[in-house]
Amino acid sequence: MERFVVEGGYTLSGEIEPAGNKNAALPILAATLLTDEKIILRNVPRIRDVETMVALLKSIGSEIIWLTEDTLSVKTNLPGEKTIELEKRYAGEIRASILLAGPLIARGKNVYFPPPGGDVIGRRRLDTHFMALETLGAKVKTERRGFHIKAGRLKGTTVFLDEPSVTATENAIMASVMASGRTQIRNAASEPHVQDLINFLNSLGANITGTGSNVLDINESSGLSGGNWRIVGDHIEVGSFIALAAVIGDGLRIKNAETKYLNMIRHYFSKLGVEIEISGDDVIVPGKQKLVIKNDHFNEIPTIYDSPWPGFPSDLTSIAVVTATQAEGMVLIFEKMFDGRLFFVDKLVSMGARIVLCDPHRAVVAGPSKLVGTELVSPDIRAGMALLIASLCAEGRSIINNISQIDRGYYMLEKRLSSIGAHIERVSD
């Protein structure tokens, strides 16, 4: 068991760069199943979730080699059997295992899935996936211990998603690429990682239009080729670094920050008083900021809430909470999408934060609060990063346990943060 030992109170400065977007890398790795030709993927974050997806793909025959620390060579070699049963030790560890459904049924395979894993942040339904795949011609049988998906001849049609689910959209896209005729996906998710998947598939020969919108048109492809692709940078990691720099920074430049994806992130951080400058594709967060929450008109308490893209990302809700603890004023954080995301705030309260958890979806934060180091446990990826930010700006020493959760989403985090002045050490029991 590993943990972080963090000495708080040291200012951070210099330059840092986001790793590749894990939420783009995972579906793109799944999409390599759509071709038997070799694919080179660059800027792949070598984090725990990606390593698990690599192991899962290898278990069904893919030949995958790490050429460098962030570059993968992938060649699909599907088994001859009609039915593939995914290994529980891998599929049950990551939520993204469900992303193998679309490409495998597109290749004519029946698949048995154990229940997917992932963060425990509330109910995460799979109904939208099943509905989309059934609309295209697959047959789904569910049970508590897993589910079977039987491939038929997939036919293009109109697929209306009952919610703009990111992974359901990605599954529908991958299944539709080889469906006969034309498919239209309506109420589709349009997050940057969905866009990256579409652009990747088009580079292999797919014919998908509507990128960045909630209506996608997909024309049948006779077959996809190999290729070479660079995973887009992680805008969630950029948002995390912005928050870190705002609460304890002495001037930080975030390089290659994918600034085209930061409009709503910048807007909501500005509500917390965070000043951000754009220089080309870099973000500069000036140092020693005095954060003051900006009230709405008529002096009303402002609200920060998440919503599907291009709204504020749910993955940054936890980060916004800890930023608000260091800002003067009061703000309502409204987590609309997941009913367990805010259950980490008791740990911030134990450090001295002034937070009222109104219900599973809403928390009122009053600041600024002087935080004090303590022993903590990381419950999920994003809450883990929020607790690390809190520990870095707290007085004294903090110990963060269960950092395997943080490792699932952030690449070599302690080394990268140490390079800009953080006092953080990874230790093993």
Which active-site residues does the annotation give? Answer: 119
CB 348 within 8 A of CB 376: no
Round to whole Å and give the CA distance between 291 and 328: 6
Round to whole Å and give the CA distance between 263 and 311: 9
Q: Looking at the chain, how many residues does it have?
A: 429
Conformational region of residue 209, where left means phi above 0, alpha means psi within -120 to 50, and beta covers everything else: beta
Round to whole Å and give the CA distance between 229 and 221: 19
CA angle 25, 29, 35 (to 5 degrees): 145
DSSP 326: T
Amino acid, single-letter form, for residue 336: K
Per-residue 3-state assignment (H helix, E strand, C coil) for 124-186: CCCHHHHHHHHHHCCEEEEECCEEEEECCCCECCEEECCCCCHHHHHHHHHHHCCCECEEEEE
Residue 393: HSE in the Cβ half-sphere, 13 Å Cα cutoff: 27
Bridge-partner residues for 16, per DSSP?
Answer: 254
CB 373 within 8 A of CB 347: no
Round to whole Å and give the CA distance between 67 and 49: 18
Q: How many other β-carbons are positioned within 10 Å of the β-carbon of residue 28?
A: 28
CB 394 within 8 A of CB 426: no
Cis peptide bond upstream of 286, omega within 30: no
Burial of residue 372, with CB atoms counted within 10 A of its CB: 0-12 exposed, 13-18 middle, 19 or more buried: middle
